[in-house]
Amino acid sequence: MSCLNKGNSELSEVYLKIDNFGEIEEKGVKKIIKRFTWKSTSKVEIQVINYGGTITSVKVPDRDLRIHDVVLGFNKIEDYLKADNPYFGCTVGRVANRIAQGKMKIEGKEYQLAINNGPNHLHGGIKGFDKVVWEYTVRNNQLVLSYLSPDLEEGYPGALLVNVTFELNERDEFIINYKAATTKPTVVNLTNHSYFNLAGDHTSFEEIYKHQVYIDAKEITEVNDDLIPTGKFLQVTDTPFNFTKTQCLGNVISSVPGGGFDHNFCLTPCGGLQKVAARVKDPGSGRVLEVYTDQRGIQFYTGNFLPEDCHLNGKNGVIKKHGAFCLETQNFPDSVNQAKFPSPLLYPGETYNTTTIYKFLVE
C-alpha cells in the first residue's frame, strides 16, 4: 500500500510517497512504522521514517549520473532498535550533544537528567527523541512529525510539544524545520544526526579521507577529555580545526587529539540561511553537500566511535570507524551550564524555531 502526494507551486515536480517500513511493539501495542520517500527530477531521493524521525537514505547522482546512497543506516527497523545503533540519521532531543554530569539549573531549581554517556548526559538521554514513534501529517510534499514529550521525561521539566517538518524541493534542498513549545521553563536543542559519505560506496571507507571540507567558523569550543566544554573558545588559526579554507580531511584528521573530530564549531554569526555554514565535496564522484542553518554551532564528527572490529553491518555492508561524517547544526554543547554560551532556555509562551538545509550538488 502506498500513496503519492504532489507538491504545489514551482516545486510541484517533487513527489512524496508513503509506505510501510516495518512494525514494532511498545508496551504490548503494535505500531506500524511509516517510510516517506521524496524524489526530485534530478534523481535525488530521500527517505525518512517516523521512528526516531530518522533519515534512512539519501540517494544522489554523481557527475556520471550514477546514483548511490550517501548516508549510513540500516535496511530493517529491527536494526534501528538495537543498542549499538549510533544515532544513524535520527532526530536528536530534547538536547543534542552533552550535558556535564546530566546536571542543570533553571531559575534556581536543580534537575538531574538521565546519564547515558560515561558520567554525562548525551543526545536526550536513555530514551531520547531518536527512540520514539512520532505522529505524522503530510501536507503536499511536506512531512510534519510530531511528538509530545511529557513533563520530566529523561529528567527534563515541562511537557514539550515538538513539530519537525521535512521537505525536499526541486533545488535539491532538504529542509528541516524544528518547532517546540513548553509548559514549564526548559531547555531545547534539536538536530539531525545523519552520517554522510559522499563517495557513496560505504565499503570503501578510505574514501572519506579524500573529502574536502569547509566550515565557516573561526573558533571552536574547547573540551576536556570527556568532550565537555571548558567554557573557553579556541581560535582555529594554525590548527587542524581551520576549515575556513577548504582542507582535505585526510591531511588533518590524524593531528586531532582523540582520533578524529568531535567538536563544536562556532559559526560566523551572520548570513543565516543565506550563507553556507559548511561545505563538503567528494572529488572522486563530484558530489557536494552544503549546509545552511540559523543555528550558532555545528558539531563536526568523523565517526570516531564507530567500531574498528567490523561488527556493525549497515544497509551497504560493514560500517567502520571514520566511515562517515556528521554535520550536526546546534546550540553549543552544555550551554545550559555555560554563561558565555547562547542560552538554550525555552519558556512558556515562546516558540523554539530553527531551520537547517542540506543542499546536494554535483561538480
Residue 328 known to be catalytic:
yes
pLDDT at 351 over 80: yes
Query: pLDDT over 70 for what percent of the chain?
Result: 94
- What residues are designated binding site for beta-D-galactose? 97-98, 193-195, 262
Catalytic entry in 193, 202, 211, 263: 193
206 vs 120 pLDDT, higher one: 120
Q: Band of the pLDDT at 166, cuts 50, 70, 90?
A: very high
Instruction: Identify the pLDDT of residue 8.
Output: 41
Interatomic CA distance for residues 134 and 173, integer angstroms: 23
pLDDT at 2 over 50: no
Residue 193 known to be catalytic:
yes
Nearest to 160 by CA among 329, 348, 331: 348
pTM of the predicted structure, to 2 decimals: 0.95
Interatomic CA distance for residues 55 and 136, integer angstroms: 15
pLDDT at 223 over 70: yes
Which residues, other chains included, contact 271 with Cβ-Cβ below 8 Å and sequence gap of 6+?
none
Nearest to 325 by CA among 267, 270, 243, 268: 243
331-345 confidence digits (pLDDT tens): 999 999 999 999 999
Burial of 144 (0-12, 13-18, 19+ CB in 10 A): middle
6 vs 35 pLDDT, higher one: 35
143-159 confidence digits (pLDDT tens): 999 999 999 999 999 99
200 vs 99 pLDDT, higher one: 99
CATH 2.70.98.10 holds for 3-194+339-362: yes
Query: pLDDT over 90 for what percent of the chain?
Result: 85
Provide the residue ranges of all domains of the chain, joining segments of one domain with +: 3-194+339-362, 205-333
Fold of 205-333: Beta-galactosidase; Chain A, domain 5 (2.70.98)
Residue labelled with grid coordinates 535520527? 90
As a whole number, the mean pLDDT across the chain is 93
Burial of 248 (0-12, 13-18, 19+ CB in 10 A): middle
Fold: same for 3-194+339-362 and 205-333: yes
